[in-house]
Chain A
Amino acid sequence: MITMDLLAINFSLGLEKLLLIGAIITFSLIVAMYTTYAERKVAAWMQDRRGPNRAGPFGLLQPAADGLKLFFKEEIIPLTSNKTLFVLGPALAMITAMLTSAVIPWGSSIELFGRNISLQIADVNIGILYVFGVVSMGVYGIMIGGWSSNNKFSLIAAVRGASQIISYELAMGLSLIALLMMTGSLSLKTIVQQQMEGGWNIIYQPLGFLIFLICVFAECNRTPFDLPEAENELNFGYHQEYSSMKLGLYLFAEYVNMFISSAVVATLFFGGYDIPFVDETALSLSLGANTVALLGFAALFAKILFFLFLFIWVRWTIPRFRYDQLMDLGWKKLIPLALANMLITAVVILWLNK
């Protein structure tokens, strides 16, 4: 009977998930589009300038103009490059950037046409491991792009990118282990639900959050960790030989990555779709479950926007690390700190449970 259930193809469930996937991908692409606009605007404001204000009201059509420009540019594939890999690079970067959104709970669930639709594509019980796996794949976009370009700058950038992401992934994983010891679950939905009841994880894991945040900056190749694309030393690094929309995909993947990383940070440490200071179950009785689910999504989105702003804010404040300083910070500071954090958390948990 159970096997029959598993084998039976549930068409409405499939359609529901397909629509959800489409909605989330469209949403993250639009957000990424306007993050490029926000980046330029915020950068301008922080430098006492005005930023783009010619295309449309307040320059709101600027991202569309940029995208259109990239589409119309001539596409150049260098003669000496490895063509298959050269095309594969940006595609991989984009795909891995989009994949992570599958396990993030974007909200609780809504009732539509008599169906209870969960606002999460897949509630995998190894959600965080999945995120880590996909994020590690992201380095292939950089490595393949840098290698296949057959250019020294690109190659150096690829090597830098790979070593940076591997180094910071360690500290990232270690900082999360402390969190997982507390939650006892790898499912992102469970983690959010626990935070709704027991307060946000940032209260219990401030050090873990700090380490995780720094590592997220490094994983996204954002300043101060943007060594793989350092304009002024490596000529844009791994995307130096790219042109047209292939370059666009690389640049865009960075913004999608930022969006998804912000969502992961908000989910793990800031309660995900939890509305602060509000009891959701009491609210859903008076407003209805659907409204509360949408409000929860709005709360998550507000948290994501804050982190996106933080990404931009930090970029226009802090200069880039030197390569040895980067490695120093990763291996000699963050990893021992994360280990200490793990140890302290373990001791406290054991002590409270005695």
Chain B
Amino acid sequence: MASLTNRVKVLEQKPMSFMERLYLPAIFKGMAITFSHMFKKKATINYPEEKRPFSPVFRGLHVLNRDEEGRENCTACGLCAVACPAEAITMEAAERKTSEEHLYREEKYAAKYEINMLRCIFCGLCEEACPKDAIYMSETFAPSNFTRKGFIYAKDELLIPNPVTDKEKYEIAKGLREAQLKNK
């Protein structure tokens, strides 16, 4: 039969020679290969002690951002919730009172902001949709909890530490963020 393509490789089917039929040389060869593997570099990373370096565009758990004065960036415009393909984000907007100007940057803010981490697919579309640089994704990942309810992250878990009242923690979080932006 003529072959359809020129990539056909005809297999030789000779009967096995005596050495091949002994099998022992092949077995010794295989054993030499497995033995050599004992001294190769291990592919495993000892996870909690060692961590894999992340790519600069890694998308982990979300963080809600504040400005330098510690005011929340989010204006509850709802663009992130609309952009979310998994419908993981819900929010409730509220109007800023005059006494709250040090808490929220603009007149409108998110009174309630929740992300269901079990629904979230970590696609990063919310981060892209945000016009106020209010939500971004960190390098934290693998959340764990005993209940499903615990995976619905509210504002207290999402907000970045306040740079005015909690400077130290903010610097740590900020450092990570800066490094992330620089790498982008």
Contact = CB atoms under 8 A, between A and B. Distances in A.
**A and B associate in one complex:** yes
Interface of A: 42, 45-50, 53, 313-314, 316-318
Contact of B37 (A47, A53, A314): A47
A317 B44 contact: no
Interface in B12-51: 27, 30-31, 33-35, 37-38, 40-44, 46
A45 B34 CA distance: 9
Given A45-B37, A46-B37, A48-B37, A318 B30 contact: yes
B69 to A, nearest CB: 47
Interface of B: 27, 30-31, 33-35, 37-38, 40-44, 46
Contacts of A49: 42-44
Given A48-B43, A50-B44, A50-B46, A317 B27 contact: yes
Given A50-B46, A317-B31, 9 more contacts: A42-B38, A46-B38, A48-B37, A48-B44, A313-B34, A313-B35, A316-B34, A317-B27, A317-B30
Nearest to A316: B34
A154 B40 CA distance: 39
Contacts of A314: 31
A48 B34 CA distance: 10
A46 B34 contact: yes
Contacts of B35: 46, 313
Nearest to B26: A318
A45 B44 contact: no
B27 A318 contact: yes
A46 B46 CA distance: 18
A47 B41 CA distance: 10
Nearest to A224: B27
Nearest to A313: B31
A47 B33 CA distance: 11
Nearest to B40: A48
A53 B49 CA distance: 12
Contacts of B44: 48-50
Nearest to A50: B44
Contacts of B43: 48-49
Contacts of B27: 317-318
A53 B42 CA distance: 13
21 contacts: A42-B38, A45-B37, A45-B38, A46-B35, A48-B40, A48-B41, A49-B42, A49-B43, A50-B42, A50-B46, A53-B46, A313-B31, A313-B34, A314-B31, A316-B34, A317-B30, A317-B31, A317-B33, A317-B34, A318-B27, A318-B30
A86 to B, nearest CB: 38
Contacts of A48: 37, 40-44
Rank and list the top 3 A-B pairs by shortest CB-CB distance, nearest first. A45-B38, A317-B34, A46-B34
Most buried by B among A42, A45, A53, A313: A45
Contacts of A317: 27, 30-31, 33-34
A50 B49 CA distance: 14
Nearest to A53: B46
B173 to A, nearest CB: 31
B26 to A, nearest CB: 9
A211 to B, nearest CB: 12
Nearest to A210: B24
A45 B37 CA distance: 7
Contacts of A47: 37
A11 to B, nearest CB: 51
Contacts of B40: 48
Contacts of B41: 48
A47 B34 CA distance: 8
Contacts of B37: 45-48
Contacts of A318: 27, 30
A47 B39 CA distance: 10
Contacts of A42: 38
